[in-house]
């Protein structure tokens, strides 16, 4: 894991994370989330302004994983949340808002390293539970989250254009 470094993003990273996030979303969900809704979603969810706000907002953390050349290959956005879906139990919750690892780098422990970093940072910020929402058809993601200690605790809708997906809510005590 010495070939990879995790760091917290600054405003100077907003454009790179915007581009990385959009690219990794398409990599993971492009075939199942087609145009024109995909472009509309990407322009809203991964605009430079949205990423900059995530980087600067109080209680929000955006982390990037870089390879030995400094190339961004994964990122996560987590935020303190006062409202949590049914099934998430804790006094101080953090949500994993976004979590992606470039497919060319999967299977090397990068995802586990990044999630452990998120859990450590949430714990240090006083969190006692971390949760996320993932597409119920994303068996690869669900399997990863289950392997690292998350459990399915509920359901939540995900709006993608006219389509409404049934997502799993998964949580893990800290």
Predicted structure pTM score: 0.94
Residue ranges making up the domain that contains 69:
5-173
CB atoms within 10 A of CB 151: 13
Per-residue pLDDT of the chain (174 residues; tens, 9 = 90+): 568 999 999 999 999 999 999 999 999 988 888 899 999 999 999 999 999 999 999 999 999 999 999 999 999 999 999 999 999 999 999 999 999 999 999 999 999 999 999 999 999 999 999 999 999 999 999 999 999 999 999 999 998 888 888 999 999 999
Domain of residue 137, CATH code:
3.40.630.30
- Produce one character per residue of 60-84: b if its CB has 16 or more CB atoms within 10 Å, e if not: bbbbbbbeeeeebbbbbbbbbbeeb
pLDDT score for 1: 56
Question: Do residues 79 and 25 make contact, with C-beta atoms less than 8 angstroms apart?
Answer: no
Q: What is the 3-state secondary structure (H, E, C) of 62-106?
A: EEEEECCCCCEEEEEEEEEECCCCCCCCCCCEEEEEEEEECHHHC
Q: Whole-angstrom Cα distance, residue 121 to residue 126?
A: 9
Into how many domains does the chain fold? 1
């Amino acid at each position: 894991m010495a070939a990879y470094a995790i760091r917290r993003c600054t405003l100077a990273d907003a454009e790179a994370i915007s581009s990385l996030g959009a690219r990794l979303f398409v990599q993971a969900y492009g075939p199942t989330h087609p145009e024109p809704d995909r472009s509309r979603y990407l322009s809203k969810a991964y605009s430079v302004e949205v990423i900059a706000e995530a980087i600067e907002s109080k209680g929000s953390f955006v982390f990037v994983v870089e390879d030995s050349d400094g190339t961004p290959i994964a990122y996560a956005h987590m935020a303190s949340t006062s409202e949590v879906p049914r099934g998430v139990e804790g006094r101080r919750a953090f949500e994993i808002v976004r979590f992606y690892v470039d497919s060319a780098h999967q299977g090397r422990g990068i995802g586990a390293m990044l999630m452990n970093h998120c859990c450590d940072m949430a714990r240090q910020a006083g969190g006692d539970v971390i949760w996320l929402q993932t597409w119920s058809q994303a068996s690869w993601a669900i399997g990863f989250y289950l392997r690292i200690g998350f459990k399915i605790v509920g359901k939540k809708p995900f709006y993608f254009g006219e389509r409404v997906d049934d997502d799993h809510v998964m949580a893990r005590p800290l």
